[in-house]
Amino acid sequence: MTWKIALAFSLGVAAGYFRALPGIFVEKAELLLTLALVFLVFGIGVEIAGNRSALSLIKKMGWRSLLLPALSMGGTVAFSALAGIFLNMSPLVSAAVGCGFGWYSLSGILLTPVFGASVGVIAFLSNIFREILTFLGGEVVYQRLGGWPAVAMGGATSMDTTLPLLSSISKGRLDALAMMSGVIHSLAVPVLVPFFANLVR
């Protein structure tokens, strides 16, 4: 899936650079982005609500199910804001970028209409890098630091794309925790990204 997203992004950059698209497509780009966002959020909502096993798991684990994603999200927001200071970027904008929690297909679309294409690209790349780093370093983190940090690395992706990796390196012991953490991260993205974006306005 990652290579398909990267390919689509590269084709979009090339099409924009060489002006290969009809003018009407460029003029209606914001409308098309809005429609794509609506369908994407609708589809994800259906997928999350339809995953009864993950939702029942959250209920079964109770308040403890919130501890790992809460710590993961809190750390992500704090260090994203700190990174913004060093990168000469508004800490609130940087925090909004970090609140994608690895969900690159949504965070970029949410932030582009508000802050422009440059911030949208940063959101896309920073969140896709989080997924890639989880694939590359998840096993090392699990072996040296344990299961919680390994699951936290994946953020929202721990319920889907990085779940097979987490399951493999832990021999299934992280499946429930990863699924639960990923669901809560995913539910938080459409709330926290606009929240921090609106604080800038």
pLDDT band at 1 (very low <50, low <70, confident <90, very high): very low
Q: How confident is the model at residue 77 (pLDDT cuts 50, 70, 90)?
A: very high
Residue 50, Cβ neighbours under 10 Å: how many? 9
What is this structure's pTM?
0.72
Q: What is the pLDDT of residue 76?
A: 93
Of the pLDDT bands very low, low, confident and very high (cuts 50, 70, 90), residue 163 is confident
> Which sequence spans correspond to the domains of the chain?
29-200
| pLDDT, average across residues 158-170 | 83
Summarised one tens digit per residue, pLDDT across range 134-157 is: 888 888 999 999 888 999 999 998
- Report the chain's mean pLDDT, rounded to a whole number: 80
Alpha-carbon torsion 65, 66, 71, 77, what sign? Answer: positive
Please list, in sequence order, all residues whose beta carbon lies within 8 angstroms of the beta carbon of residue 193, skipping any fewer than 6 positions away: 96, 99, 100, 106, 107, 110, 111
